Every structure is written in C-alpha cells, then in structure tokens.
C-alpha cells in the first residue's frame, strides 16, 4: 500500500470532523444568525434543523445493545453469510435499528413528524379528487395563492409524495403511527437494494464490506421518521433495476433487458415526481449504465421515466411549470435569510453528521483508490454521488435541512466505507453507531 493510501482514511476523517466542528461552533462564537429554524428562540443547533434536548426512552436499551453486538459481530457476519441470508439479516437488523432509534422518543418518534400539519399526511387525508389536486397544485404553491397556499412540504415538492400518502389513506393506513411504520418498513429495504446493485454490477465483495455501514447508518435517525426515506428507497430500487437491465443488456441485448429497464424508468420517473432535486440522480443512473455496459437499457428507461412525467402533466401537473413557481416561493421564504456564505459548507457538515463522519474517511480511500480497477464499481458509484451532492449544494436550493433532503444520496456515499482497511472497520463502525446514538439522545432533530 502506498503512503497516500495509508493516510487517506485518517485525512478524510480529520477533515470531516474539522468541518463539523466549524459548522457547529462558528455561528454562536461570532454571533452569526444562520437561521436553521423559523423560530430560533426555541433553540438551534446549526448545521442541523434542531436544537439540544437530552432524553432517553424505550428504544435506548435495544439501540445500545444492538450497537454493542454490531461492533463485535457485524463485520465478520457480513463476510460469512450466504448472500440470501445476508439480505435477510440486513433487513431485520436494519429494521430493529430504525425502530430502536425512533422509539427513544416513544411511539411519537415514529408518528410525530408525519402527523405535523406541514407534512404530507394531513393534506393526503383531505384529498377527494385527484384530478382537482393535480390541476390546482401549481396555483397553490405561492405564498399569496388566492385559494390558499400549500403547507411547506407540499409546496416544496411535486405531488408524487402526496399521492403515496393518499394511497396509504385509501388502504386504511393513514393514521400517523400506521403511516410511520410503513415508512420504516420501506426505509429498511434501502441497504438491501444498494448492496444488490453493487453485486449485480460485479463486486459482491464490495457489497458485503459495505453492508454493516449501510445497515447501521447514522442516517437511520432521519430515515425512520421522514417521508424522504420513501424517496431514497424509490431511487435505490430504481438504480437496482437499472443495474439488472444494464447487465442483462450487456449479456444478451435489448430483448432480455427491457422489462428491468421499464421498471427502472417507472421508479426513477416516480422519484422525479417526488422531489425537484431527484433529477440529479440521473448522474448516478449514467454511472450504473456505464458500469453495467448496457447502454441498450438507456432509451427504454428514459422513455419509461418520461411516461411518468407526461402522465402527471396530462393529469394537470407539469413539472417544468411548477419548478419556477417553487423557486420563487423558496426565495420568498426563510431561505433568503439563510446566508449562502455559511450554508455552502454548512450543508456538507450536516450531511457528514447525518451520514456519519466515517463517510469522510471513506471518501479519502475512494480518492486514493481511484485508479484501482478491482474497486472500480465502488469508486464510480461514490464519485457519482459526490457529483450529485456538489450540484445540489451549488444550486443553493437546499440551504439547511439537507440532513433530511439529501437522504437519497447518502447510501451511495456510504459505499466508500467498504474500501476502508480491515483495521478501520470495527472502530469505524463503532464511530458511526456512536454518532447515531449521540444525535438521537442529545438532539431534537425536527424530523
């Protein structure tokens, strides 16, 4: 191993910790009001959208016991289990991790966020006519909308997420707790499909190495309580289907790949209709196609995604008409008070807290391994995620709150942890687990 590769993890970790420390300490030390919250008199903790609040709860003991057991066994178990058993164990452990962290706040930890009037669920319960919803959607985005403006999360996103919760309501799962449990069940699939994507692209070793970090991620603190977990899962499932399409296309041409390509396009098109920022995942999609050497899948997947977007337009909601209106509302709100001079790097610190500081060590190793063909799959996927985050940050359309907004990008950044040296894996996992426990027990994260 060359010297730069040996120092890469520690360099990446130190830089990440320094970034987080500066983001936390600079605003109060210099009296800089960075407006993480609308009512800062309630308390703040930049760069997160929350404030200090120490607590313990029913989930504390199981979360700590799972963390201790994981430090001891997660890494060797991920390497030893058969692939199917690894997926099953990953889902169960991930589900327990998500629920344990959320239940530190009691059952309110699962239901509180979705039950907030600014979120999707309350609006979903009032929807009776889907056509009317779509046709009036854009006109109700502005603050001064004649018919009354949408709550902040409805106005800030396309209607796909509202429709997801409308479906839950129609299925009898529209209660705050019931909908929260559905979100948790979906969120727990994210590590599985990211691991499967890596394996399909030809790097099972990397998928196994990444498993503990994907399953026991600090972002579970946000995933268990946020509708953005559904967006992250939709993107992950779409990328997995695209990887299957690309590899099938590379082996036998378009004939075998088109069903997976259609499914990938429908999922990724659906993701675009959930968040205005998710078209950026096209960078990751191109990386998956390049790694799978199956460009036959591209036109089919792109056409399928376009069908979703055009179907919404036919129903009354045109994405390209809504985005400029949303941009105007965004700058009419608190975003204009949040200084770009802080958030251009404060966002990255919030990402580091949510995804865990070990992601910085992983990025250091990815950079040192950029010419290593054996780990090409991981390097390319992580690099694509870095480009997405850079574009999202540069857009200035996400000042603050990215610990939640950027959840769809975090699993792909976390893949870099799979490249950490053996001596780093257990202590690195311990650092990630400790980060999650500290954030959940010492902060009110608003999400």
Look up the domain containing 165 and give its range: 3-444
**Distance of alpha carbon 323 from alpha carbon 308, whole angstroms:** 17
**Beta carbons of 50 and 444 less than 8 angstroms apart:** yes
Q: 338-342: long-range contacts at Cβ-Cβ below 8 A with a sequence spacing of 24 or more?
A: 338/34, 338/35, 338/36, 338/399, 338/400, 339/32, 339/34, 339/35, 340/396, 340/399, 342/23, 342/26, 342/27, 342/32, 342/34, 342/46
**Distance of alpha carbon 118 from alpha carbon 114, whole angstroms:** 9
**Number of H-type helices and E-type strands within the chain:** 23, 2
pLDDT, one tens digit per residue, over 8-36 is 999 999 999 999 999 999 999 999 999 99
Q: Sign of the CA dihedral 269, 270, 273, 276?
A: negative
Domains: count for the chain: 1
User: What's the mean pLDDT in 301-321?
Assistant: 98
| The residue to which tokens 């460009």 are assigned | 295
DSSP code of 415? G
pLDDT, one tens digit per residue, over 239-283 is 999 999 999 988 876 677 899 999 999 999 999 999 999 999 999
3-state secondary structure of 45: strand
The Cα diameter of the chain in Å comes to 65
pLDDT at residue 39, as a whole number: 81
**Distance of alpha carbon 402 from alpha carbon 398, whole angstroms:** 6
Label residue 4 by pLDDT band (50, 70, 90). low
**Distance of alpha carbon 304 from alpha carbon 295, whole angstroms:** 15
pLDDT, one tens digit per residue, over 187-233 is 999 999 999 999 999 999 999 999 999 999 999 999 998 999 999 99
**Beta carbons of 152 and 116 less than 8 angstroms apart:** no
User: How much of the chain, in percent, has pLDDT values that exceed 70?
Assistant: 98
39 φ, ψ (degrees, to nearest 5): -120, 80
Cα dist from 88 to 93, 240, 408, whole Å: 9, 17, 22
Q: Would the pLDDT of 2 be above 60?
A: no
**Distance of alpha carbon 302 from alpha carbon 119, whole angstroms:** 30
């Amino acid at each position: 191993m060359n010297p730069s590769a040996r120092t890469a993890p520690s360099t990446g970790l130190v830089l990440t910790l320094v970034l987080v420390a500066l983001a936390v300490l600079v605003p109060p030390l210099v009296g800089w009001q960075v407006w993480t919250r609308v009512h800062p008199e309630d308390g703040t903790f930049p760069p997160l959208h929350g404030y200090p609040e120490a607590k313990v709860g029913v989930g504390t003991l199981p979360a700590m016991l799972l963390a201790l057991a994981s430090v001891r066994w997660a890494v060797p178990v991920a390497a030893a289990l058969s692939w199917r058993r690894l997926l099953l164990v990953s889902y169960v452990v991930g589900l327990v991790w998500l629920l344990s962290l959320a239940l530190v706040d009691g059952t309110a930890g699962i239901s509180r966020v979705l039950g907030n009037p600014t979120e999707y669920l309350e609006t979903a319960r009032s929807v009776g006519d889907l056509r009317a919803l779509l046709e009036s959607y854009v006109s109700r985005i502005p603050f001064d909308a004649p018919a009354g403006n949408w709550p902040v999360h409805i106005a800030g996103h396309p209607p796909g997420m509202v429709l997801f919760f409308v479906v839950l309501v129609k299925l009898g799962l529209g209660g705050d707790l019931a909908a929260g449990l559905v979100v948790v069940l979906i969120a727990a699939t994210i590590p599985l499909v990211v691991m499967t994507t890596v394996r399909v692209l030809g790097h099972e070793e990397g998928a196994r190495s990444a498993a503990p970090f994907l399953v026991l991620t600090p972002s579970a603190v946000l995933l268990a309580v946020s509708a953005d977990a559904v967006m992250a899962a939709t993107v992950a499932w779409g990328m997995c289907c695209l990887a299957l399409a690309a590899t099938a296309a590379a082996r036998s041409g378009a004939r075998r790949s088109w069903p997976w390509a259609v499914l990938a396009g429908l999922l990724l098109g659906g993701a675009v209709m959930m968040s205005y920022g998710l078209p950026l995942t096209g960078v990751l999609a191109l990386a998956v196609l390049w790694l799978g050497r199956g460009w036959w899948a591209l036109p089919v997947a792109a056409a399928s995604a376009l069908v979703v977007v055009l179907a919404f337009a036919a129903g009354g909601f045109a994405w390209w008409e809504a985005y400029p209106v949303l941009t105007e509302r965004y700058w009419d709100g608190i975003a204009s008070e949040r200084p770009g001079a802080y958030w251009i790097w404060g966002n990255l610190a919030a990402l580091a807290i949510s995804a865990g500081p070990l992601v910085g060590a992983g990025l250091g190793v990815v950079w040192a391994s950029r010419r290593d063909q054996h780990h090409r799959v991981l390097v390319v996927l992580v690099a694509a995620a870095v480009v997405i985050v850079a574009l999202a940050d540069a857009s200035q359309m996400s000042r603050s709150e990215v610990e939640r907004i950027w959840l769809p990008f975090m699993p792909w950044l976390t893949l870099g942890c799979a490249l950490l040296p053996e001596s780093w894996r257990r202590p690195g996992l311990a650092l990630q687990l400790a980060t999650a426990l500290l954030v959940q027990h010492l902060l009110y994260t608003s999400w």
